[in-house]
Amino acid sequence: MLNQVCVLTVKVKEMKESLSFYTEVFDFTVSKKYSDKIVSLVHKNIPIVLEEDSSNNLSESKSVLLGISSENIDYDFKLLKERGANVLFDEPKPCPPGLYFIVEDPSGNQIDVVEFTNEDQ
């Protein structure tokens, strides 16, 4: 059956800069380095793979959106700004499951940081 997500691949323009972003800003660690252009990050449920694509064909509209769960959105918002992340909002905003804000990685991929605060979620 084809109903189980097994990996999330994030296309990046430059591996060194992107790896630094995901490990230093978001605290991911490397689980496996397949090559200089493909690196897997430690994640409990779904592997997250960074794949360098230097073809300059990365779409202006991103088709994969990575969502990262927050248990304290205000703290994480401030922390990511302090770490130099390109946070697209002035403050967390409401969304159906709670609150969120968006960060861009060095390749322009957008990352949702979400705190699930609504009880029915």
pLDDT band at 2 (very low <50, low <70, confident <90, very high): very low
Q: Region 75-91: what's the mean pLDDT?
A: 96
The strand pairing partners of 67, in sequence order, are 112
Q: How far apart are CA 109 and CA 85, in angstroms?
A: 12
- For residue 45, the tally of other CB atoms under 10 A from its CB is 6
Q: What DSSP line would sit under 40-90, residue for residue? A: EEP-SSS-EEEEE-TTS---SS-S--EEEE-S-HHHHHHHHHHTT-EE-SS
Fold (CATH) for 8-54+63-116: 2,3-Dihydroxybiphenyl 1,2-Dioxygenase; domain 1 (3.10.180)
Determine how β-strand 8-12 pairs with β-strand 48-52. Answer: parallel
pLDDT digits (tens, 9 = 90+) for 14-58: 999 999 999 999 999 999 998 999 999 998 888 788 888 776 665
Residue 50's pLDDT is what?
85
pLDDT digits (tens, 9 = 90+) for 90-116: 999 998 888 999 999 998 888 989 998
Residue ranges of domains in the chain: 8-54+63-116
Residue 121's pLDDT is what?
43
- The answer to whether the predicted template modeling score (pTM) of the entire model surpasses 0.95 is no
